[in-house]
Chains A and B, each alone.
Chain A
Amino acid sequence: DTGVSQNPRHKITKRGQNVTFRCDPISEHNRLYWYRQTLGQGPEFLTYFQNEAQLEKSRLLSDRFSAERPKGSFSTLEIQRTEQGDSAMYLCAGGRLDTGELFFGEGSRLTVL
């Protein structure tokens, strides 16, 4: 158990709907990352936070994706107007600046019909 929890674990939605995923790291994790993983591929970087500041967002990410980390604790990833190509596993990972190690949650699987 890494201490990082993600909800919901699985979301099925229709194309065009909005979805939101939540990640709760442990309090020691001043860094928080979001990745997307499709079958047979490695985690693809989406965005990351240092405390509440969003430091970088992938250029591959369209404007339909937005992430927040209010107060530097939990984080949310929202996808607006979902498309079938958004179907993937969305991974959250917490970590600390001094160690560089990431602790992954079990992921939230999105299926867009």
Chain B
Amino acid sequence: GNSVTQMEGPVTLSEEAFLTINCTYTATGYPSLFWYVQYPGEGLQLLLKATKADDKGSNKGFEATYRKETTSFHLEKGSVQVSDSAVYFCALSGGYSSASKIIFGSGTRLSIRP
């Protein structure tokens, strides 16, 4: 079945550092890929998405490119801020059917030092 694997955390960086959080997936067909974020004390919310190979999703300075050849969807940001401290979840849906469930990775906790 479909699955998502994320790099384990926690990840601790200094402000203005470059961020990469790795995500790889296993799926049949052509899934859609997502990054969700959970800020402290809040619910999960969509950060960005990509629906087909080579698409780049972007939001709030974060980017991720859908790489079908490497089955990856790594999250990157060029200069992180303290306010980016949160838990980040990679997720996928679909495959051959658009009516498929959305499954999540285990999450990566990010802490940014001032």
Which A residues form the contact surface with B (CB < 8 A)? 2, 33, 35, 40-45, 48, 50, 55-56, 91, 93, 95, 97, 100-107
What B residues does A93 contact at CB under 8 A?
Answer: 44
| Secondary structure of the A contact surface, majority rule | strand
9 tightest Cβ-Cβ pairs between the two chains A and B: A42-B104, A104-B43, A104-B44, A42-B106, A43-B104, A42-B107, A101-B46, A106-B43, A100-B32
What is B's interface to A at a CB cutoff of 8 Å? 32, 34, 36, 42-46, 49, 51, 89, 93-94, 98-99, 101-107
Q: How far is the CA of A35 from the CA of B42 in the complex (A)?
A: 16
Name which residue of chain A comes closest to B107, CB basis: A42
On whether the beta carbons of A100 and B34 are closer than 8 Å, the reply is yes
Counted as pairs of residues, one from A and one from B, with CB atoms less than 8 Å apart, the total is 55
A100: B residues at CB distance < 8 A? 32, 34, 49, 51, 93-94, 102
| Cβ B101 vs Cβ A48 within 8 A | yes
Contact of B99 among A44, A55, A106, A107 (CB under 8 A): A55
Interface contact A102-B102, CB-CB below 8 Å:
yes
Extra inter-chain contacts (6) besides given A41-B106, A42-B106, A55-B99, CB under 8 Å: A2-B45, A40-B107, A42-B104, A100-B94, A100-B102, A104-B45
